[in-house]
Structure 1
Amino acid sequence: MGANTSSLTSTTDTLDKSEHSSNLNLGDIPENCIAQILSYFNPPDICKLATINRTFRAASSADFIWVSKLPSNYHYLVAKLLVDDDMKRLCEKEMFAKLSRPVCFDGGNKEFWVDKMTGGVCVSVSSKSLMITGIDDRRYWNHIPSDESRFPTVAYLKQIWWVEVDGDVEFRFPAGAYTLAFKLRLGKVIKRNGRRICSTEDVHGWGVKPVELKATTGCGQHIVSKQFLETTGDWEYHRVGEFIVNDSNTPTKVKFSLIQIDCTHTKGGLSIDSVVICPTNLAQDFKTLP
């Protein structure tokens, strides 16, 4: 009888445990375990998973998760965005959220942002920040409004003999490989019969000689690329090349230029949006950049 009672009790305990196990849900997983799991996801997915329940939402705010997603020099980047007192009140998740949106500097003509997927730092330099030969003479160049750009205007060349565009940026990039490119288009957008079209009536002279694109860094790296401008109607990223940053704590000075100074013919119809610098692993398709 005792043996039978013991057997019955054992069976009942097993059933109780089985029933209890079947009632477990995601909310029963310890928060620190969930945080460890979330650390393996990219930021957009972490934010999606945070909507599952309160435990996931709390776990998604763990500082150690977001420190691993932020650039190594994120304190410098945040300091460009906020005053010290504001920075002290932010957690790492909030810092990531703010840095993943465009942050303007140098009078609003340049901006940087952190890529949401990789944590890489990108920089964009507007046409307003570039030194363009003849830009003050409206017979040659104009700054025209654009809703296709990160910035309010783009530079548009009607016609000129000598094209020379120079610019620079000084920024504390995280260590790594970076690609620099000019964002250009042959043609300009106009409205005709209530529709937006790309006018190419001023486009000429770019098939005679290539433009020369250059970039140099303060540590002596030089990049030169010669390219013909051929495609009309669409924005294209013309890659100058790659440079390496070795020290995240030292500002990197990058100078760049676009030149076509063959005065045997005029050229026109060129729109210049900006110069973009981003980690080389993001440069496989510039058009995916926000």
Structure 2
Amino acid sequence: MGANLSSVFTDPNALSLYGSLSSQSPTPKPTLGDLPEGCVALILAYLDPPEICKLARLNRAFRGASWADFLWESKLPMNYVRLIQRVFGDDLPRKISRREIYARLCRANTFDGGTKKAWLDKTTGGVCLSISSKGLAITGIDDRRYWNNIPTEESRFDTVAYLQQIWWFEVDGQFEFPLPAGTYSIFFRLQLGRAAKRFGRRICNTEHVHGWDIKPVRFQLWTSDGQYASSQCFLRDPGKWNLYHVGDFVVDSSNPSMNLKFSMIQIDCTHPKGGLCLDSVVVYPSKIKERLKHF
């Protein structure tokens, strides 16, 4: 009897029941890849676009869910159809997914003869806009004694307007654009001094910078629905690009297209001013204003 019992534990095939159990493989546990794409898409809808793109690399289910039209429809601006018409015209294919539309709008898209660029902030989906110096009305711009257009890699438009010297300084601009409802901030992007590269290193010639510390520059903006803002400040920090805040304005959902006018002026005929690079005017959603400190 004892011998028979011991043989059960030493021989795995002594009982057919134990033999069959030892040959079975464990039941596989469910993984993220087993989730239906529809469920995954509903989860992804709560995330920001950069997070969605990262999770799309996990597996096939997440990759497929990341292409759901309803997911990207919720990330696009409410008026994205009018936005597409304004920026792309008829150049965008008719059959294109919402994810591809979002990706296209996140690029710095050039329009209006190359004088403007529009794009979506990748994190918030907010609409941003930039108007080049060539799209602005600048006093004396056609006289090379005062202004020159110089090429540079430091501009989105590959060129900036450089002021050598002038007495009457005035820059005006105007645009109409279908901005989504929200609060926006407008800035002038300026630099005192002329930047260049020497032996692969950036240098900035500030020899001709003068006149900006005597009287402040005044910035103003007007909107088609009666909003007005103004500010003034001295131009400082030679050799560094700075965003000078003009003011904020609000776009209401009932206003399909905002018409905006703005200006930068410094008139003091007792002294000239010069050595200024004017790159562009930029418009950003006010909620990302803090990030612009590192622009």
Compute the TM-score of the two structures, normalised by the length of structure 2.
0.88
What is the match of residue 268 of structure 1? Answer: 274
State yes or no: 1:211 paired with 2:202. no
Q: 1:127 aligns with which of 125, 133, 157?
A: 133
Q: 1:8-27: per-residue Cα shift (whole Å, max 9, x none)?
A: xxxxxxxx9xx53x521111
What is the match of residue 8 of structure 2? Answer: none
Structure 2 distance, partners of 1:28, 1:193, is 56
TM-superposed deviation, 1:190: 2.4
What is the match of residue 202 of structure 2? Answer: 196
Counterpart mapping for 1:1-290 below 5 A:
19-20=26-27, 22-82=28-88, 86-192=92-198, 195-247=201-253, 250-286=256-292
- Cα distance change, pair 40–29 in 1 and its aligned pair in 2 (3 A): same
- Cα distance change, pair 261–36 in 1 and its aligned pair in 2 (3 A): same
Q: How many residues align?
A: 275
Structure 2 distance, partners of 1:85, 1:282, is 30
Structure 2 residue runs of 5 or longer lacking an equivalent are: 1-23
Letter in 2 for 1:62: A
Contact 2:88 2:111 in 1 (8 A): no
TM-superposed deviation, 1:195: 3.6
**SS of equivalent residue, structure 2 residue 165:** coil
TM-superposed deviation, 1:85: 8.7
**SS of equivalent residue, structure 1 residue 231:** coil
Structure 2 distance, partners of 1:85, 1:104, is 12
Letter in 2 for 1:91: S
**SS of equivalent residue, structure 2 residue 248:** strand
Structure 1 distance, partners of 2:294, 2:258, is 25
Structure 2 distance, partners of 1:207, 1:287, is 22
Letter in 2 for 1:135: I
Contact 2:220 2:263 in 1 (8 A): yes
Structure 1 residue runs of 5 or longer lacking an equivalent are: 1-15
Contact 1:73 1:248 in 2 (8 A): no
Contact 1:122 1:276 in 2 (8 A): yes
Contact 2:87 2:118 in 1 (8 A): no
| Identity rate, percent | 55
Letter in 2 for 1:69: K
Structure 2 distance, partners of 1:237, 1:84, is 34
Structure 1 distance, partners of 2:221, 2:140, is 21
**SS of equivalent residue, structure 1 residue 283:** helix
